[in-house]
Chain A
Amino acid sequence: GQSLEQPSEVTAVEGAIVQINCTYQTSGFYGLSWYQQHDGGAPTFLSYNGLDGLEETGRFSSFLSRSDSYGYLLLQELQMKDSASYFCAVKAAGNKLTFGGGTRVLVKP
């Protein structure tokens, strides 16, 4: 089975940088995905790491260390619209995703 841990909530001000950590225990690991979900909305794909290292997509970056079973999502230059829940998800065989509990990010002016 899979289990993932991420912080439940993070608060930061506009313009700041936030790092959301995700640790996982898994049987069968293909990679780590990150999704953003606004209240009442659909999860939106942000980033995927299949290999160790950093992936950068605009203001968002994601990192993976397979040996440490650890990854993080970095949100830079925070904007009010970034207030949302962020989920890490382990991708396993069959393209199945197991999601972490989600981190609620609150951006303050």
Chain B
Amino acid sequence: DAMVIQNPRYQVTQFGKPVTLSCSQTLNHNVMYWYQQKSSQAPKLLFHYYDKDFNNEADTPDNFQSRRPNTSFCFLDIRSPGLGDAAMYLCATSRSTSGGRTDTQYFGPGTRLTVL
């Protein structure tokens, strides 16, 4: 089945120790998104890639970076995790960014990050 895969499902890191979360997709979608979701809150968009074009949200902290080496994979790098960065990180994909009915975003299962 075509899908969005995130590894690992659970990640523990230490305060200030860089961590990388990964996302892969078999949907062959052009767009990949990263969201942060804190406990009992709504998902919040951090950034997205349309192909190789990176689009950062204005309020995303510099501590968060992303890489997309090819169509299938996208990584979220947190350079110096703080306690406030503990959250579920969700990856999503869509075919394009035209915003029409066919551009549904499909989410992966998420990676729950714990910062000690």
Interface residues of A (CB under 8 A from B): 30-31, 33, 35, 40-45, 48, 50, 87, 91-102
Cβ–Cβ < 8 Å partners of A35 in chain B: 107
Known: A30-B99, A50-B100. A43 touches B94 (CB 8 A): no
A56 to chain B, nearest CB (A): 15
Interface string of B30-44 (1 = CB under 8 A from A): 010000000011111
Tell me the B84-116 residues at the A interface (CB within 8 Å).
90, 94, 96-101, 103-110, 112
State whether the Cβ of B55 lies closer than 8 Å to any Cβ in chain A.
yes
* Cβ 8 A contact of B109, one of A42, A96, A99, A101: A42
Query: By the criterion CB–CB under 8 Å, are B42 and A95 in contact?
Result: no
A-B contact pairs, 21 of them (CB 8 A): A31-B99, A33-B104, A40-B112, A41-B110, A44-B107, A48-B101, A48-B104, A91-B103, A92-B99, A94-B97, A95-B31, A95-B94, A95-B97, A95-B98, A96-B48, A97-B45, A97-B105, A98-B45, A99-B42, A101-B42, A102-B40
Task: Count B-side interface residues using an 8 Å CB cutoff.
Answer: 27
Query: By the criterion CB–CB under 8 Å, are B110 and A42 in contact?
Result: yes
Task: Identify 10 new A-B residue pairs, CB closer than 8 A, beyond the known A91-B103, A99-B42.
Answer: A33-B105, A42-B110, A43-B43, A45-B104, A45-B106, A92-B99, A93-B99, A94-B55, A99-B43, A101-B42
Query: By the criterion CB–CB under 8 Å, are B90 and A42 in contact?
Result: yes
* Cβ 8 A contact of B42, one of A40, A41, A45, A87: A87
Distance in angstroms between the alpha carbons of A57 and B65 in the assembled complex? 38
Cβ–Cβ < 8 Å partners of A102 in chain B: 40-42
Cβ–Cβ < 8 Å partners of A31 in chain B: 99, 101
A26 to chain B, nearest CB (A): 13
Closest to A50 in B: B101
Closest to B107 in A: A42
Cβ–Cβ < 8 Å partners of B109 in chain A: 41-42
Cβ–Cβ < 8 Å partners of B42 in chain A: 87, 99-102
Cβ–Cβ < 8 Å partners of A92 in chain B: 99
A99 to chain B, nearest CB (A): 4
